[in-house]
Structure 1
Amino acid sequence: MATDEASPLLRRGESPGIAGIKLPAAREFGEESRRLWKLAGPAIFTAICQYSLGALTQTFAGHVGELELAAVSVENSVIAGLAFGVMLGMGSALETLCGQAFGAGQLRMLGVYMQRSWVILFVTACCLLPIYIWAPPILSFFGEAHHISRAAGKFALWMIPQLFAYAMNFPIQKFLQAQRKVLVMTWISTGVLVIHAVASWLLILKFKWGLVGAAITLNTSWWLIVIGQLLYIFITTSDGAWSGFSWLAFRDLYGFVKLSLASAIMLCLEFWYLMVLVVITGLLPNPLVPVDAISICMNIQGWTTMISIGFNAAISVRVSNELGAGNARLAKFSVVVVSITSIAIGFVCMFVVLATRFYFPRLFTSSEAVAEETTRLAVLLAFTVLLNSLQPVLSGVAVGAGWQSLVAYINIGCYYILGLPLGIVLGFPLGLGVEGIWSGMVAGICLQTLILIVIICMTNWNKEAEEAETRVRRWGGTAVE
């Protein structure tokens, strides 16, 4: 089936034109950019809204006290961050399978894939429960200060409902994204964010419920998103992609788990990488101020990363849809357009961070010491924001093409064999502190990004389209003729 408005000439690898006259490259770039923004715009806004749930909770907690800010920051960055990475990674197998099945016209399989993912992610959530239950000793084992570990662990127990909301939410999102139904997620997430902001102010500050109020609002908000999306799918049947619950969800689980694990390993290695900064910073002398400062920086970095994650979702859908439909040239051209666009936005975000470095820290804390430390880290934050404008997009290409296993190995080498040890050496033996830790880890991101650029440039996209056809057939559909 056709997956976008591109002309048949473009799908065959030719530039569109009138009476045999080819259009300029700028026109073709503009058309592809429009298709990408149609997906990326709502996806970015949805990602920002959902990320802002935790960020707003952290902001309100910061105005209660330094310990409360540290507790919410560590739980969000380490405990929930770990769970988020695992669940998103396991659910990201659907980006490959649903996207390529949709491109091949096999709508009936999308609902089955989503149900298989629910089964796998529910079991995964149960396996992650011990991390929430025994969070204090786990955090202490990795060197976090005892009083921060105890407060974060208490908050983690209250956040267990969020873990199971993740298990439902990520398969739903990939199911809807593959069909380009991103606006419905945007409207639901926007409405929930407004409710969350008001409820957080009431429970955390007005009623002075502190961390209890933070847990109630954050859990409720995530489940409202899940319920809203489910109601949309059940009521509309998603144009035939949802035909009800099926026992087929329990078939071929082994192969599905293998692809899910490859996706999880790839994305977890990326999500955890910068989150480790918070834990390592906790090993520094007098860690409360550095932990709060680095948490604020990661909060800002997370917000800007949501833009890249929106493009990650868009390019994953574009690549998987086009490969599933056999349109190798369009898949390749989409990668070029989204990379240029993301880098341009990255430069804008970097400039904004540098221009506001004396002001944005005070939005998150009333502590002058924390604000000054955050300002001092702003230059590193700005460079990280620029680098992360492209890196998630390249990962989206990998997911759309089904390269999860390859990228997982690249991530291990660049992040955990090079970047993390280098950061530890710079931060501790060389005495550069949090700046050294962060600088070493940025080196790992640079290397990973360069390797992915080389791989994408050397890719035979016609061969990738053939492999997508084989994948669709193997997972229960019939590829397009």
Structure 2
Amino acid sequence: MVCLEWWSFEFVVLCSGFLPKPQIETSVLNISLNTACFVYMIPFGLGAAVSTRVSNELGAGRPEAAKLAVRVVLCLTITGGIIVGTVLIFVRNIWGYAYSNEAEVVKYVAIMLPLLAISNMIDSIQSVLSGVARGCGWQKIGAFVNLGAFYVVGVPSGILLAFVFSIGGKGLWIGLTCGIFVQVVLLSIITLCTNWEKEEIKTKNRVFSSSFPTDIDARTIEKDNGENTKKRVFC
């Protein structure tokens, strides 16, 4: 799930090298990607937290608590996305100086940051929904969603906007934002249509059907004099 998304961002940066003024385009997109990674750590952490919480609650037989955790983390993520997006917009004219002294680069970064604020807001919601998918054991579904969202919609849209409509690096980033939006829509539909009671049953079945590796047997128990030592084997 994660690799399919990250590779699409790296691919877009590589595509920027074929644009007019490739040095400027590549520099700005690298700065944008670096900034996106920096601000993404907040929703990524919340996504990891909700993944653990949802899986634990479902395993404990508390589907309502799992639903509550999803709502709470979504509220936190949306609030954080609004705050981070606002900060990015306010610092757009000076943020580029953290990476370059070139006036053209700084000006281009100032144009990209509002787009970055929008994509971060959408990506924050995606991070939580992806965490829910991992917590419910939907990794395969999430991988197909990411594959379709980024490689059927996102990357082709970015290439079309950048090279056909001559929007440049902004077009590449807008294409990725479209991919993230599709990803959020699909994951939202899956989450809203989830029967949490059935997911609880599936989770319990996975837990009860799991077993220890077959190489754990009596041979792993060390024998001694048998005095003052008690060992237990859980199976």
Taking structure 1 as the reference length, the TM-score comes to 0.43
Whichever residue aligns with residue 135 of structure 2, its letter is G
Where does 1:159-308 land on structure 2 (aligned, <5 Å)?
266-308=1-43
- Structure 1 residue 369: deviation in Å? 2.3
1:324 to 59, 78, 103: 59
3-state SS of 2:147 partner = helix
* Cross-structure match for 1:360: 95
**Cα distance in 2 between the residues matched to 1:436 and 1:293:** 13
**Cα distance in 2 between the residues matched to 1:293 and 1:476:** 51
Cα-to-partner distance string for 1:211-240 (whole Å, 9 max, x where unaligned): xxxxxxxxxxxxxxxxxxxxxxxxxxxxxx
2:161 to 426, 430, 436: 426
**Cα distance in 2 between the residues matched to 1:329 and 1:364:** 47
Whichever residue aligns with residue 299 of structure 1, its letter is N
3-state SS of 2:45 partner = helix
The percentage of counterpart residues that share the same residue type is: 37
- Largest Rg, 1 or 2: 2
**Cα distance in 2 between the residues matched to 1:334 and 1:451:** 20
**Cα distance in 1 between the residues matched to 2:8 and 2:118:** 16
Whichever residue aligns with residue 289 of structure 1, its letter is I
Please tell me the root mean square deviation across aligned C-alpha atoms, in Å: 1.3
* Cross-structure match for 2:82: 347
1:470 and 2:208 matched: no
3-state SS of 2:92 partner = coil
**Cα distance in 2 between the residues matched to 1:460 and 1:433:** 44
**Cα distance in 1 between the residues matched to 2:144 and 2:153:** 13
**Cα distance in 2 between the residues matched to 1:399 and 1:474:** 19
Where does 1:121-160 land on structure 2 (aligned, <5 Å)?
none
1:375 and 2:110 matched: yes
**Cα distance in 2 between the residues matched to 1:277 and 1:422:** 11
Q: Structure 2 stretches of 5 or more lacking a match?
A: 213-235
**Cα distance in 1 between the residues matched to 2:118 and 2:29:** 15
**Cα distance in 2 between the residues matched to 1:286 and 1:431:** 12
* Cross-structure match for 1:257: none
- Structure 1 residue 402: deviation in Å? 0.3
Whichever residue aligns with residue 68 of structure 2, its letter is F
3-state SS of 1:431 partner = coil
3-state SS of 2:164 partner = coil
**Cα distance in 2 between the residues matched to 1:364 and 1:456:** 39
**Cα distance in 2 between the residues matched to 1:415 and 1:475:** 34
Q: Structure 1 stretches of 5 or more lacking a match?
A: 1-265
Q: Which runs of 4+ in 1 moved over 6 A?
A: none
3-state SS of 1:378 partner = helix
Whichever residue aligns with residue 353 of structure 1, its letter is L
Is the 2:12–2:155 Cα contact (8 Å) retained in structure 1?
no
Where does 1:77-156 land on structure 2 (aligned, <5 Å)?
none
3-state SS of 2:185 partner = helix
Cα-to-partner distance string for 1:273-294 (whole Å, 9 max, x where unaligned): 2232211111112311111111
**Cα distance in 2 between the residues matched to 1:350 and 1:428:** 28
- Structure 1 residue 359: deviation in Å? 0.8
**Cα distance in 1 between the residues matched to 2:44 and 2:155:** 23
**Cα distance in 1 between the residues matched to 2:52 and 2:125:** 17
3-state SS of 1:432 partner = coil
Whichever residue aligns with residue 79 of structure 2, its letter is A
- Structure 1 residue 475: deviation in Å? 2.6
**Cα distance in 1 between the residues matched to 2:132 and 2:110:** 34
**Cα distance in 2 between the residues matched to 1:403 and 1:418:** 21
3-state SS of 1:366 partner = coil
* Cross-structure match for 2:71: 336
* Cross-structure match for 1:203: none
- How many residue pairs match? The answer is 212
* Cross-structure match for 1:456: 191
1:414 and 2:128 matched: no
* Cross-structure match for 1:91: none
